[in-house]
Chains A and B, each alone.
Chain A
Amino acid sequence: MTFGNPWMLLGALGALIPLLVHLFDRRRPRPHPFGPMAFVLRSQKRTASRLKLKRLLLYALRTLILLAIPVALARPELRRDAAASAVAKGPAATAVVLDASLSMRWADGTSLFERGRDEARDALKDLQADEPSTVLVCTSAPAAPPPPGFDRARLRAIIDEARPTYGTADLSRCMELAARALEENPTPGKRLVLVSDMTAAAFRLESPPPTVKDPTGKRVRPEVVLRDAAEGREALPNHSLVELKVEPALQAGPRAFQFTFTVKNQSPEAVKDVEAAVRVGEAALAKGFVDVPANGTAQKSLTVRFPQGGTVEGAVTLAPDALPEDDQRSFVLPVPRALKALVINGAPHATRYRDEAFFVEAALTAPGSPVEVSMRDMDAGLRENYAAYDLVLLLNVPAPSAEDAERLAAFVTAGGGLFVSMGDRVDPDSYNSRLGALLPRALRLVRTSVEREDPEAETKSAKLAKVEVEHPLFSPFTGRAEEGLVGARFYRYMLLEADNPAATGASQVLATYEDGAPAVAVARRGKGRVGLFTSTVDRDWSDFAIRTSFLPLMQRFAAYLTGSLEEREEQRVRVGETVTLRPEGGQVIAAVRAPDGTELAVKAQQDGSVVAGPLLEPGLYAVLGAEGKPLQALDFAVMLDPVESDLTRLPSDTLTAYFGEETVKASSGDAERPKVPLWTWLIVAACAAFFFEGTLLRK
């Protein structure tokens, strides 16, 4: 126990006054002859024991009053006792390490960080005047603290200005940095004060504890004072959004997406009916509820159909808890926009189902499809202005003239999509000579696996054997959906050359038949893409057109070849990391705007990309082009590190064992300390004693 005004304790001698009065105040009572003495004697006898007790109580209460008041004025504080014992050996250079990680944002009215700041201020207040000190605010990228000094005002200002971050904090690293700073001070005693919520994720217990050099140069463990901002709580309940997966939901429409997110519950009790929602701006597009078992995870899927294409920016949110920052995750989603497709029919037929383009038209104009189809025969189609379309489909079209081929090449190079399917009218040599530079691979010859009328066509026909389901084009065809692909029969198909030496970019074979011949090949030409299907899109060379997989594959072809199916991998950036942005075409990236509105400068790289960051805040980042023009397609979302959502606390025994039992002098927390200074209780006791003394006197 320490006293703020110890000289006030002299007043406690006043407690002797009642005793002295009792011993020395022997006033002579006035004699009074009285008739009814018998009554006086009986009354005295009746009340003697009660009076004795009353006198004793009065004596005790008066002593208490006279003792409590001067002791209270001396301002005793039990809380300082721990610190006093820690400094009993002499002055020590002290470094206060304040945890500023995301987990310190956990709040139940007051945030752990606010409590931590109070603890840090108290730690400075508890220091003796001759103890130099420094402060280190521990973030994901901590800087070395200033050397220990006596400018307490500056240290208090550092604490006042400290803010909790959204990142992790490596307390082991911070303690090491603080220990290095202490070594620069000649004071023999060294002390580290750690103010933290003591979550397990913040410590690297496998690394050695911090040490300092003693005057002989030998490394010794410094004294460690642990101040628990969580006030000794056993657990800090928290649920968080740890994973988010966004996939197209074709079954619900071309612009429908399924948001699958994983919720983790890091508390010892299950949470029920946690509201989950997909939000864009203030509007909730989908809502659901999820139950998560204690210390477990649960998944929830919500399907959202966006009304129009373009880049959509929003967030998936959970009902907020004590740490609301990890209850949401932002996303940037390219939603397919409306497409204009020019279908050039190389083999029209009066009977609709025998028409070359019948099945393609049906697939591209199915309800919910974003594709607007224009049907043309070969002559009309090849004369069209391709610039008015996003996609051109050549269906069993004889090789165009050299002039048309050039226009097609220009269309693709400028960013258009070209789909080519085979048929009887396709002459490999003519194609190779006029469109060879455009096709993913040169055509070789037609191979017939079996005639369609053959009774054994069922077994002898070719089938798809290998499909690149990792590619965006085929990514939906996994599991049972794959059967629609591999069940199709191909009676005839075009063989391709093994390589295309004339092509500037490499082609990619996404599906092959059982004999290894390519079934689907794609290539990027300039800004555009070209897709080659080596069989027919009607029933002449295969029955693929009547298979269930035909419709979605054609729609995905349309989306992929026009760049609507985002090939670019989602930017998965975590708080504290940098982001690499790749501008397309002539785009210039000038800056990145953070969620709080601040603009971050970008650094150009040699490969044409730019780097921004480190990014310190989760949420949506807007990419700005020249003159501040937004480049929405490049916008990205930054997410939190799920590690910081795990608020599992380290037991004090573990921490004590880690830092060394002989060095951890005070493991303090508000739970172990009186919340109200002792002197206020003494005043309360004195007032109560005063009240009871008055009551006793009146009786």
Chain B
Amino acid sequence: MALLDAQTLSRLQGVKLRARAVMEGVLSGLHKSPHQGQSVEFAEHKEYAPGDELRHLDWKAYGKFDKYYIKRFEHETNLRSVMVVDASASMGYRSGALSKLEVSTILAGALCYLLVRQQDAAGLAVMVGEAFKDVPPRASAGHLNVLLDALEHTQPQGTTNLASAADHLAEVLPRRSTVIVLSDLLDEREDALKRILALRQRKNDVVLFHVVDPAELTFPFDDPTLFLDMEGDARIEVNPREIKESYLEEFGAFLASVKAACAEADVDYELVRTDERLDEVLLRFLARRGRRR
């Protein structure tokens, strides 16, 4: 498990290795989880009614009770998931071992592993500025390499445009898909987050991984600093100690507003710090999903 901290992951070369390490960590953690079996499982019996499929008739029950019963199952169909990775310039910020983008790609890769392993379809949409790099969802084992290659070659650039991403996904995604967004949400446009959350209204299951750097949370700067905007030309010279209190208030309010908006839109929200163990992030996420079901 010591392999999975940020420092160790940063030493592993490539998303494939990193995502696999995280995925294996998750799988070993799942044995302890009460949510065993991600595949199709028996749920209950139902008395036969005309129109029910005969292949689900439980002949053993008929032998015992002399009545026709139909077996009912959960998740009778395969899951269709798309990882939406924000690759804007601000995602390249790092104060520790991994940048926000690296954390996002590792998480996305690990999730792809998990999905393909249980025969679910996994796809990818990488936001690079205004452009998108799409990999349609498929459930084949060979598709995993395509996904991981796409993540491997992602570099931070351009500005964050969540609204544009939302519009694009609305076009390409079939209904009732699972959309997993990994972003720092640093988009100052007024309705950017709302547009993403609106995907939920199209019967999609939306999950938001909010990736933040610890320095963004604690603002640990002391000396006078010239802050440069990573997605624009803005720059400002300040004494960080003088504005720290105000910054923390502002950022805290931002996090709270995002969390509140997700709760209101029935979207799963997960705050991810780039310095925490990613297998624990995924286990925490899966556990919450299990409770929801």
Contact = CB atoms under 8 A, between A and B. Distances in A.
- Do chains A and B interact in one complex? yes
Interface of A: 27, 29-44, 46-47, 51, 54
B29 interface: no
Contacts of B279: none
B247 A39 contact: yes
B250 A32 contact: no
B246 A46 contact: yes
10 contacts: A33-B227, A35-B90, A35-B100, A36-B90, A37-B227, A37-B232, A39-B251, A40-B227, A40-B238, A43-B243
A40 B247 contact: yes
A35 B188 CA distance: 12
B248 to A, nearest CB: 9
Contacts of B186: 35-36, 38
A35 B254 contact: no
A47 B93 contact: no
A36 B216 contact: yes
Nearest to A697: B241
Contacts of A34: 93, 227-230
Contact of A29 (B216, B225, B234): B225
Interface string B192-226: 00000000000000000000010010000101111
Tell me the interface secondary structure of chain B in the complex.
mixed
A31 to B, nearest CB: 4
Contact of B250 (A27, A39, A54): A39
Contacts of A44: 236, 238, 243
A54 B249 CA distance: 20
A39 B185 CA distance: 13
Interface string B82-94: 0000000011010
A4 B48 CA distance: 113
Interface in B98-115: 100
A32 B246 contact: no
A32 B234 contact: no
A37 B247 contact: no
B187 to A, nearest CB: 10
Nearest to A42: B250
B254 A39 contact: yes
B228 A41 contact: no
A35 B230 contact: yes
Given A44-B238, A51-B242, A30 B229 contact: no
Given A35-B93, A39-B254, A41-B234, A30 B225 contact: yes
Nearest to A51: B242
A48 to B, nearest CB: 9
Contacts of A37: 227-230, 232, 234, 236
A31 B243 contact: no
* Most chain B CB neighbours (cut-off 10 Å) among A38, A41, A43, A44: A43
Nearest to A35: B90
Given A32-B221, A34-B230, 16 more contacts: A27-B224, A29-B237, A30-B224, A31-B228, A33-B230, A35-B230, A36-B251, A38-B188, A40-B238, A40-B247, A43-B247, A43-B250, A46-B250, A47-B242, A47-B246, A54-B242
Pick from A38, A39, A47 the residue with the most CB of B within 10 Å: A39
A247 to B, nearest CB: 91
B184 interface: yes
Contacts of B230: 33-35, 37
A113 to B, nearest CB: 62
Nearest to B250: A39
A186 B22 CA distance: 108
A44 B231 CA distance: 19
B246 A33 contact: no
